[in-house]
Structure 1
């Protein structure tokens, strides 16, 4: 009751309501900034991972190679249908597709673009989430067996669309007495896809599996298998089982192996951002000390009277501790509300900022995703709340102890 009376006291009565509001606003803004930063970081990480998982295999099963009858190293899988069935039978595997891969130059309209060709069966391409379900895709995926599917970046660089023809040029062509001649084939663009990753859209194209086998001189074999699993975040647990199902010379490469360095960098940045924003919360919490020190000074006579009436040091400490704790609690709650509202409405806010700035706030050409989003995670909210409350309560102890240890005789000497 006494603490609440002090908090809402007017300045003329010796209160510090102005300092209290400054403290509340400071903590509110600090907690809001912490939650907003962590939500944007989580959204970026989620978009990045979803882009990888939507267009790439969760696990790639490939062959380490073996010597053939001519003494040459032979890589790939000759019995790819049987191996694909074995991989698909592994518990937790949702899809296993044989793939033929190769690098080519694609030419059209006097323009050239390097690309990586994925030769896959039409039914397997239709199960790739970002290929079959993109909102900006052009063409009919059902026509894929009759031509080639290009990434949107390649199509833009070559200035081609659905129905146009492109030429694929591979340096590893037919071997003749005069050397190896380039292989050149023309294909009709039947589908243009957008995966959500500018890097993939600028470098990837799909050919029907049988056509890719013929083009890359891979008749009767597959280079590798694309495997999708139910729990890609814990993809490591499938490794041993997939190795056994892939055969004697099988090896595995997970999506985390390819993006591991980037994911670790994001984790380090997330931790550093949390630490830096925590310092901001600490600075805002220090305002509570200023307010309480002024409150203790103004209430010196009250403290002396209360002590002479029988209040203990512990009771006085609790009064002023509650004054600071309530300030920290109010600021934390308001910061959580603002931070959650910001994260939940981030897309609209970001679009408005982009419109005010005239566009170009987020340039996908230098980032691995097209759009920036925010993802509100409750453990981030709880971390921010706990941090703010701990710091607010901790900085309150010093001025509260000073008030509790005030000598009532000294406080009332000049009264």
Structure 2
């Protein structure tokens, strides 16, 4: 019995490589090979770029949420206070804050006073949301204490207010200017409640990186906010930061128990969960669409191999009469398609990774060429669109591309292996 040829022997690789390099005049299909190669390269690159941009946008969006907002907000259920009015104020907020602060995994707890007012300077007005907070707590908010851009001195916070860059732009103010804050719930008099109008110096202007935050947020010293909003001796809520925001669901119950009483929780997932779920669905849809694009590119391999098998019918007949088995012929033409898939995948990974790494200057050029309209922060919420290259995304693209390339190659390779050598040489 003749010895069986080892699968994917050296001569099989040599024949496959010879067929791929053959000129059209020699029975090769170099044009179709190049079309398949370029198609897979662009499809894999597009898949990697898309996943990198989607991951970057999600990371930037979540980072701006966690960097300038509470991971958990603790507030009170509605109750009747001593004056007989309905209230949701936290009475013994410092003691409650100490209990919550002792929960393992909690890194920061800050009492807040919150309210919405009208900011005014001359003929300009802007609706803003006041956050009354202590100075030591303000300095622990990452994107406020260490923002992307800022004006003024945060150390002077106790003598004025800190405002977002969007508010400053809307009012046309800079650090050192004074603005009026107008609240409809001001001083109570026998003739009704009169609006409260107080002028404050803007000592600090920050850019947190979120359009809605920079557009509306104003920080005020805690005691001043208590006086301004008639909240003496109470707080509206507790702002809680945790060590691992992604694991907030596991900490919710311990925090609620520590807060005690008739308290409620509102986590960052509750606030942005719907949007994040929408991003997950969009990521899945985009991956499926890009996978279809890779499949279409891989289908070109079938066209090229079908033509190659047809042009190499005489060679197949000769190789079979020389003793080449059906398995060897199948592997030769499988290698022809597989090499196109592997080279296309390799070039696609290189192109996609380079595009993702240098995405910022590329996007800046595109945005500049389009007049700055390619990215509208007022719609997307964040000021920039970063690309985050992740190993798992690259691996997914490689596995998908190689898998599809190998699968579609099998069918024309089997046709070549089953070709009758007598029929192949009949008219030669």
Shared fold (TM-score, shorter chain, > 0.5): yes
Structure 2 match to 1:390: 403
CA contact (8 A) 1:109 1:159 kept: no
Structure 1 match to 2:56: 43
Give 3-state SS (helix, strand or coil) of 2:115's partner: strand
CA contact (8 A) 2:151 2:175 kept: yes
Q: Which runs of 5+ in 1 are unaligned?
A: none
Q: Does residue 355 of structure 2 align to residue 342 of structure 1?
A: yes
Give 3-state SS (helix, strand or coil) of 1:275's partner: helix
1:3 aligned to 3, 7, 16, which one? Answer: 16
Q: How many Å apart are 1:290 and its aligned residue?
A: 1.0
Q: Aligned equivalents of 2:122 and 2:48: distance in 1? A: 50
Q: Does residue 41 of structure 2 align to residue 28 of structure 1?
A: yes
CA contact (8 A) 2:46 2:352 kept: yes
Q: Aligned equivalents of 2:364 and 2:142: distance in 1? A: 26
Structure 2 match to 1:244: 257
Give 3-state SS (helix, strand or coil) of 1:369's partner: coil
Q: How many Å apart are 1:202 and its aligned residue?
A: 1.0
Q: How many Å apart are 1:360 and its aligned residue?
A: 3.0
Structure 1 match to 2:67: 54
Structure 2 match to 1:12: 25
1:216 aligned to 206, 229, 238, which one? Answer: 229
Structure 1 match to 2:159: 146
Aligned length in residues: 415
Give 3-state SS (helix, strand or coil) of 2:149's partner: coil
Structure 2 match to 1:301: 314
Greater mean deviation of Cα atoms: 44-53 or 355-364: 355-364
Q: Aligned equivalents of 1:156 and 1:15: distance in 2? A: 65
CA contact (8 A) 1:23 1:284 kept: yes
Structure 2 match to 1:186: 199
Q: Aligned equivalents of 2:22 and 2:172: distance in 1? A: 72
Give 3-state SS (helix, strand or coil) of 1:185's partner: strand
Q: Aligned equivalents of 1:214 and 1:355: distance in 2? A: 47
Q: How many Å apart are 1:238 and its aligned residue?
A: 0.9
1:195-206 matches, within 5 Å, as: 195-206=208-219
Q: Aligned equivalents of 1:354 and 1:264: distance in 2? A: 28
CA contact (8 A) 2:148 2:208 kept: no
Cα deviation code 1:2-59 (max 9, x no counterpart): 2122122232321222221221111000000111111111111111111111111111
Q: How many Å apart are 1:142 and its aligned residue?
A: 0.5
Q: How many Å apart are 1:337 and its aligned residue?
A: 0.7
2:386 aligned to 373, 376, 384, which one? Answer: 373
Give 3-state SS (helix, strand or coil) of 1:84's partner: helix
Structure 1 match to 2:92: 79
Structure 2 match to 1:414: 427
1:263-278 matches, within 5 Å, as: 263-278=276-291
Q: Aligned equivalents of 1:410 and 1:228: distance in 2? A: 77
Q: Aligned equivalents of 1:183 and 1:14: distance in 2? A: 89
The TM-score normalised by the length of structure 1 is 0.97
CA contact (8 A) 2:112 2:132 kept: yes
1:60-71 matches, within 5 Å, as: 60-71=73-84
CA contact (8 A) 2:115 2:130 kept: yes
CA contact (8 A) 1:162 1:191 kept: yes
Q: How many Å apart are 1:310 and its aligned residue?
A: 2.4
Q: Which runs of 5+ in 2 are unaligned?
A: 1-13
Cα deviation code 1:210-266 (max 9, x no counterpart): 000111111111111111111112211110011011112111111111111111111
Q: Aligned equivalents of 2:298 and 2:307: distance in 1? A: 15
Q: Aligned equivalents of 1:318 and 1:95: distance in 2? A: 63
CA contact (8 A) 2:148 2:209 kept: no
Q: Aligned equivalents of 1:108 and 1:135: distance in 2? A: 25
Cα deviation code 1:285-338 (max 9, x no counterpart): 111011101110111111112222222222211111111011101100110011
Q: Does residue 290 of structure 2 align to residue 255 of structure 1?
A: no
Give 3-state SS (helix, strand or coil) of 1:338's partner: helix
Q: How many Å apart are 1:165 and its aligned residue?
A: 1.3
Q: Aligned equivalents of 2:372 and 2:166: distance in 1? A: 20
1:75-114 matches, within 5 Å, as: 75-114=88-127
1:115 aligned to 117, 128, 140, which one? Answer: 128
Q: How many Å apart are 1:75 and its aligned residue?
A: 1.6
Q: Aligned equivalents of 1:342 and 1:229: distance in 2? A: 35
1:126 aligned to 110, 125, 139, which one? Answer: 139
Q: Aligned equivalents of 2:303 and 2:51: distance in 1? A: 29
1:400-411 matches, within 5 Å, as: 400-411=413-424
